[in-house]
Chains A and B, each alone.
Chain A
Amino acid sequence: MKTERNLIHFESGIDLESGSRLNKFDLMVETYGNLNKDKSNGILICHAFSGNHHAAGKFSADDSIGWWDQIIGPGKSIDTNKYFVVCSNNLGGCSGSTGPSSVNPDTGEIYGKDFPIVSVEDWVQSQKMLTDYLNIEKWHLVVGGSIGGMQALQWSIAFPDSLKKAGIFAAAAKSSTQNIAMNEVARESIRKDKDFHGGDYYKHNVKPKNGLKTARMLGHITYLSEKHMDHKFGRKFQDEESRVAGDVDYQVENYLQYKGEKFSDLFDANSYILMTKAMDDYDASEGNSGDLEKTLSSIKAKLLVIGFESDWLYPPQRSKEIQLAAMNVNVECSCLILYGKQGHDSFLFASKRYEKIIKSFIES
């Protein structure tokens, strides 16, 4: 698989939805496969909240496997032998694109808490700039899960002529009250970490690791289903040798401790706050006083909306809402509810049916 990783600089900057402006910014971008002559085989992947540009394969020998490697690759559902697949780290992230932990070129200091609020609309806007940079007029498909699915939806609303199809998986047209509530608990645990320093922890050479860890542990509970957790861990005790923390009893505790710890080493706390805020604030129909049908009426792309039965963070009903509103305004739209035992995370994992549906949708 031909893979490239580039940091692309946008000297023109970007005006954000909030009214703020980034005078310059960078996007970290990974691409797989080759763009064909007429530039018609591009597929844009939008990552979920804690994902990044590294969607498939291994960029170098010691690299981790990409977050959607089960779906993207040679001969896979999103076939890199046939399509030119692009994934960029979202603005405000912490994997190479400009974010709170980057240096502000205007001041020479790390942005920290001063990094402006970004939105799903801003991400899509920056991805459109990337699209122009790549000289791609129309994506064959823009696709993503969770908040990546929100971006795919926003793409089809904001740039109806710039994509043929959109895949919106385990997503919603807006975050629910419960989604916001969960995210607020996560943010609060970060803000109350003694090392947070109001978001300026970089200056103190510390990281609010504990807060970030707790936030991520809560997140993981919401990403899994009750059934899957029960199946995976049950009430089994963790054996002593592999305990990651002293006071762990059950396997599920060990799992959360391990995942939380690992995440807190890698992720930036300000990015966490920023990303969850973007998720909470997204409401596709905001500009039309909550009228989703009106919002979707400009869509020209064909939509594939997929929900997962065991997902209680963005349950299947949220997918159906998008489909119904789209159908009411004559947008071509399919809606499937897959079994997906891994809860909200189901969109990440390949299953026979999921793989076949994605492949057929791309090729139909």
Chain B
Amino acid sequence: MNISLTKIIESWITDNSKVIDFGCGDGSLLQFLIDNKNVNGYGVEIDHEKIQQCVEKGLSVIEQDIDEGIQDFVSSNFDFAIMASSIQCLKNPHIALGRMLDLSKQCVVTLPNLGYWRCRLNLLSGKMPVTPNLPSSWYETDNLHLCTIKDFEKLCADEGFVVNKKIFLNGQGKKGTLASLFPNIFSSEGVYLLERK
């Protein structure tokens, strides 16, 4: 995960909060939040190698397919649920988002923007987008549900998720003026802090 993204998430997460990171990967973000924010953190991951890395870091990690398992997470009193660059890999992203907001007060979501100009150029040239934050070819990507910034915000409005904060990153993975003014074209990644109405 790039450093700006980590910094943004860090600035949103409050000290000593309880955090669950869905699709926590090797646990780097969780480790960072534990070290810098003293959070009580849990990770959910499906990849064996990444789970192993979490255990090596001494993190609490749950081996679980998010689509299948998120219904099992009941009455967990989390302050924040994080889903960084994983929402597009889920079978039912809207259900998972709703569930995340049931078990936490607020929810951090980051997602790659399919409306980013380089993706559009790729599509114009007749090919599936391959960009720095969508690096895999169509046949080997884990992404099932890619969307644009506009699509995502429409989903939030339809489902009654309130966008508390949002930040858009440019192609270099940094906050940029153009990306903020015209996110649907110039941001490669959107970062959201959501809660229920």
Contact = CB atoms under 8 A, between A and B. Distances in A.
Interface of A: 302, 304, 320, 323-324, 327-328, 330, 332-337, 353, 356-357, 360-361, 364
Contacts of B56: 360, 364
Interface string B54-71: 111111111110000000
Given A336-B63, A353-B48, A324 B73 contact: yes
A361 B62 contact: no
Interface in B32-71: 40, 42, 48, 51-52, 54-64
B40 A334 contact: no
A337 B63 contact: yes
A360 B55 contact: yes
A47 B137 CA distance: 50
A336 B62 CA distance: 6
Contact of A356 (B52, B54, B62, B76): B52
17 contacts: A302-B60, A323-B62, A324-B76, A327-B42, A327-B60, A327-B62, A328-B77, A330-B18, A334-B59, A334-B60, A334-B61, A336-B55, A336-B63, A360-B52, A360-B55, A364-B55, A364-B58
A363 to B, nearest CB: 8
B74 interface: yes
Contacts of A327: 42, 60, 62, 76
Contacts of A302: 58, 60
Binding site secondary structure of chain B: mixed
B72 interface: yes
The listed residue with most A CB atoms (<10 A of its CB), out of B42, B51, B64, is: B42
A333 B42 CA distance: 8
B123 to A, nearest CB: 39
A327 B41 CA distance: 10
Contacts of A332: 60
B55 A333 contact: no
Contacts of A328: 75-77
A334 B59 CA distance: 8
Given A328-B77, A357-B52, A364-B55, A333 B72 contact: no
A304 B59 CA distance: 10
A336 B51 contact: yes
Interface residues of B, number: 23
B98 to A, nearest CB: 19
A335 B57 contact: no
B46 to A, nearest CB: 10
A330 B41 CA distance: 9
A320 B72 contact: yes
Given A323-B62, A324-B73, A336-B63, A361 B18 contact: no
A333 B73 CA distance: 14
Nearest to B77: A328
Among B48, B55, B73, B75, find the residue whose CB has the most chain A CB atoms closer than 10 A.
Answer: B55
B162 to A, nearest CB: 26
B57 A364 contact: yes
Nearest to A338: B63
- Nearest 3 interchain pairs by C-beta: A364-B58, A360-B56, A360-B55
Contacts of B51: 336
Contact of A361 (B42, B55, B73, B74): B55
A120 B42 CA distance: 29
Contacts of A356: 52
Contacts of A320: 72
A152 B55 CA distance: 19
Given A302-B58, A327-B62, 7 more contacts: A324-B76, A327-B42, A332-B60, A334-B60, A335-B64, A357-B55, A361-B55
A353 B47 CA distance: 12
A330 B52 contact: no
A196 to B, nearest CB: 44
Contacts of B62: 323, 327, 334-335
B182 to A, nearest CB: 41
A335 B76 CA distance: 16
A360 B50 CA distance: 13
B109 to A, nearest CB: 21
A336 B51 CA distance: 8
Contacts of B60: 302, 327, 332-334
B170 to A, nearest CB: 37
